[in-house]
Amino acid sequence: SIHHKNKVNMSAVSVPPPKRLQKPLVVPHRHMFGPGPSNVPPRILEAGANPVIGHMHPEIFEIMNDIKSGIQYLFQTQNNMTLAVSGTGHTAMECAIFNTVEPGDSVLTAVNGIWGERAAEMAERIGARVNSIVTPPGGYFTNAEIEQALLKYRPALFFLAHGESSTGVLHPLDGIGQLCHKYNCLFLVDSVASLGGAPLYMDKQGIDILYTGSQKVLNAPPGTAPISFSERACQKIFNRKSKPVSFFLDLSWLANYWGCDGKASRTYHHTGPVTAFYSLRESLAVLVEEGLENSWDRHQKVAEYFHRGLESMGLKLFVKDIKARLPTVTTIVAPRGYNWKDITSYIMKTHNLEISGGLGPSVGLVLRVGLMGRNSSKHSADMVLAALKDALQHCHKSKV
């Protein structure tokens, strides 16, 4: 019967088992000296291999409390509203913008690379009125320029990247938080590329919302993103007229899951990535053992050593102002007469080492080298210098 035929067809599997999944998983060991992710030390990898337990079990809440304390130390903040978002740095960026900004709000972004562009796009997508101040890649803004824009656009939120990893700029922060508050504006800072590698003081510098990623200086696998909100930011967020556009990133739910809302019990919102929490906790423990100031100091010294080595090879640094150089991600002017892709692929093939080209506004202009967390050492810097020297000798000069 027709009915019987259909039944047979329904039960037959028409997509066969893929051959590729019948081979074992192979992942190469590689020196991750690009702008991220960075190498994960064995201690942090092993933490992530602990057994999976329930995302609402009391032991997980304890681990989440450990993480919260670690982030408060890393950010130098007393903010109660401190947690890690389940996702990469972009998730924290959207969490900050989606919770703070309502349709029609005025948002100002500082664009000196790709991250200001991304923040502007996120705010535009949820109906904000977005204005940007723009400076060419490698540059940054003076406080006077920022104040002028705050006065002109009267934003509810001002976005700034502390570590602009596409251009290698470490943006000065002192005084900007105070200016924002003078104009009744919240100060949002992206510190994905800089946190733990360059001095930053959330409370003292008047930062209202700060976030970072797990895969840079913290040397944890990508997938969790620390974030913190000031009392002033919470005032705006919890007095919104409309609910945030994202349920997954709604701070009132996240605050409850992370035990930040003072309620006696936590309610199920989403399944937290428990093994990623183990890794993040371990990476924060590593940082606590070294001490923030020691970490800042080490990244600065290694960056200076690396920069001297590059200059002695005849290479030029993209960021001219020494004080504005990001210690975690160095941008090198793409050497004249070479195709930058030849250099990065030669180094990957011959030295099993990742460095990268530009991103967004800096494409074609720079090579980028990240020395972050454990990778910030003279030994790593020497490896990159040797690989670059070798590549410049072996790569063909292009006709251009």
Task: Give the pLDDT score at 10.
Answer: 72
Same domain, 209 and 339: no
pLDDT of residue 397: 75
- Of 1-15, 101-115, 194-208, 354-368, least confident by mean pLDDT is 1-15
More confident residue, 330 or 397: 330
User: At 396, is the pLDDT very low, low, confident or very high (cuts 50, 70, 90)?
Assistant: confident
Same domain as 358, residue 271: no
Residue 165 lies in a domain: yes
Q: Are residues 62 and 81 in the same domain?
A: yes
Q: What is the mean pLDDT of residues 315-325?
A: 97
Indicate the pLDDT class of residue 315, thresholds 50, 70 and 90. Answer: very high
User: Does pLDDT of 399 surpass 60?
Assistant: no
Query: Could you say which of 237, 267, 288 is where a domain stops?
Result: 288
Query: What does the pLDDT average to over 34-55?
Result: 97
pLDDT tens-digit profile of 117-175? Answer: 999 999 999 999 999 999 999 999 999 999 999 999 999 999 999 999 999 999 999 99
Identify which of 177, 90, 172 has the alpha carbon closest to the alpha carbon of residue 139. Answer: 172
Strand-pair category, 106-111 with 129-134: parallel
Q: Annotation-wise, does 374 bind a ligand?
A: no
Q: What is the mean pLDDT of residues 34-41?
A: 97
Q: Identify the band that residue 6 occupies on the pLDDT scale cut at 50, 70 and 90.
A: low
CA distance 50 to 73: 25
Answer yes or no: is 21 within a domain. Answer: no
What pLDDT is recorded for position 1? 55
Helices (H), the chain: 2-11, 42-48, 58-75, 89-100, 114-125, 143-153, 176-182, 231-237, 251-257, 274-290, 292-312, 340-351, 378-394
| Final residue belonging to a domain, choices 263, 288, 313 | 288
CB of 380 within 8 A of CB of 374? Answer: no
pLDDT for residue 169: 98
- Quick one: average pLDDT of 178-202? 98
The CA distance from 124 to 205, in Å, is 27
Q: Are residues 123 and 71 in the same domain?
A: yes
Mean pLDDT across 215-223: 98
Q: How buried is residue 303: exposed, middle or buried, by Cβ count under 10 Å (0-12/13-18/19+)? A: buried
CATH number, domain of 49, equals 3.40.640.10
pLDDT, residue 11, reads 75
Report the domain count for the chain.
Answer: 2
**pLDDT tens, residue by residue, 68-96:** 999 999 999 999 999 999 999 999 999 99
Residue 7 has pLDDT above 90, yes or no: no
pTM of the model: 0.95
Are 329 and 193 in contact by the 8 Å Cβ rule? The answer is: yes
The last residue of one of the domains, among 269, 288, 307, is: 288
- Whether cis (ω within 30° of 0) applies to the bond prior to 103 is no
Verify that 318 and 329 share a domain, yes or no: yes
Give the count of beta carbons closer than 10 Å to the beta carbon of residue 15.
Answer: 5
Mean per-residue pLDDT for 177-201? 98
Question: Does the pLDDT at position 236 exceed 70?
Answer: yes
Categorize the per-residue pLDDT at 359 as very low, low, confident or very high, splitting at 50, 70 and 90: very high
Average per-residue pLDDT for the chain: 96
Q: Three-state SS for 209?
A: strand
State which residues form the domain around 387: 31-38+291-394
For residue 71, the number of C-alpha atoms closer than 13 Å in the C-beta half-sphere is 31
Per-residue model confidence as pLDDT tens digits over 242-264: 999 999 999 999 999 999 999 99
